[in-house]
Amino acid sequence: MLNYQLSLDFAKEQDKNDPLASYRNQFHIPKNNQGNELIYMTGNSLGLQPKQTKAYINQELDDWANLGVEGHTDAKNPWLKYHEYLTDSMAKIVGAKPIEVVVMNTLTANLHFMMVSFYKPTKKRFKILIEADAFPSDKYAVESQLRHHGFDDKAGLVLWKARQGEELARYEDLEAILETHGGEIALIMIGGVNYYTGQYFDLKRITKLGHKYGCMVGFDCAHGAGNVELNLHDSGSDFAVWCTYKYLNSGPGSLAGCFIHERHAYNRDLNRFTGWWSHNKETRFRMRDEFDQLPGAEGWQLSNPPVLSMAAIKASLDMFDKVGIKKLTEKSKKLTGYFEFLLKQLGEDVIKIITPNNPEERGCQLSIQVLNADKSLHNKLTEAGVISDWREPDVIRCAPVPLYNSYQDVYYLVERLKHILNE
pLDDT bin (cut points 50, 70, 90) of residue 15 is very high
Spatial distance between the Cα atoms of 128 and 190, rounded to a whole number of angstroms: 10
Distances (CA, A) of 69 to 6, 65, 285, 402: 59, 10, 15, 40
User: Sorting pLDDT into bands at 50, 70 and 90, what band is 1?
Assistant: low
Q: What is the mean pLDDT of the chain?
A: 96
DSSP state of 162: P
Contacts of 362 (CB under 8 A, 6+ apart): 193, 198, 199, 200, 228, 336, 355, 356
User: Is 147's pLDDT higher than 90?
Assistant: yes
Q: Tell which residue, 190, 187, 186, 185, has the closest CA to residue 203.
A: 190
pLDDT digits (tens, 9 = 90+) for 347-360: 988 899 999 999 99
> Strand 366-370 and strand 395-398: pairing?
antiparallel
Predicted confidence at residue 267, as pLDDT, reads 95
pLDDT at 373: 81
Mean pLDDT of 107-122: 98
423 vs 351, more confident: 351
pTM for the full model? 0.95
> Which DSSP symbol is given to 271?
-
Percent of all residues in the chain with a pLDDT value above 90, rounded to a whole number: 92
What average pLDDT does the segment 294-317 reach? Answer: 97
What tens digit of pLDDT does each residue of 399-420 get?
Answer: 999 999 999 999 999 999 999 9
The string over 66-87, giving b where at least 16 C-beta atoms fall within 10 Å of a residue's C-beta and e elsewhere, is: eeeeebbeebebbbbebbbbbb
- At the fourth CATH level, the homologous superfamily of domain 8-49+325-422 is Aspartate Aminotransferase, domain 1 (3.90.1150.10)
Write the CATH number of the domain with boundaries 82-321: 3.40.640.10
The pLDDT value given to residue 273: 94
Mean pLDDT of 217-227: 98
pLDDT of residue 289: 84
Q: At residue 124, does pLDDT exceed 90?
A: yes
Closest of 87, 107, 106 to residue 97, by C-alpha? 87
The yes-or-no verdict on residue 94 having pLDDT over 70 is yes
Q: What is the pLDDT of residue 349?
A: 87
Compute, in degrees rounded to 10, the torsion defined by CA atoms 27, 310, 97, 108: 100
408-to-21, 28, 94, 302, 419 alpha-carbon distances in Å: 11, 17, 29, 45, 16
Which ranges in 69-196 belong to alpha helices (H)?
A: 71-74, 84-94, 107-118, 136-148, 171-181
> Where, residue-wise, is CATH 3.90.1150.10 in the chain?
8-49+325-422
| Positions of CATH 3.40.640.10 in the chain | 82-321
**Position 186 confidence tier, pLDDT thresholds 50, 70, 90:** very high
User: What is the per-residue pLDDT for 6?
Assistant: 92
In the predicted structure, residue 299 carries a pLDDT above the cut 70: yes
Residues 34-62, mean pLDDT to the nearest whole number: 97
**pLDDT of the residue at 370:** 86
With pLDDT > 70 as the criterion, what percentage of the chain qualifies? 100
Render pLDDT for 189-211 as a digit per residue (tens, 0 to 9): 999 999 999 999 999 999 999 99
What is the per-residue pLDDT across 357-409, written as a single tens digit (0 to 9) for each? 999 999 999 999 987 888 888 999 999 999 999 988 889 999 999 999 999 99
Bridge partners, residue 167, by sequence = none
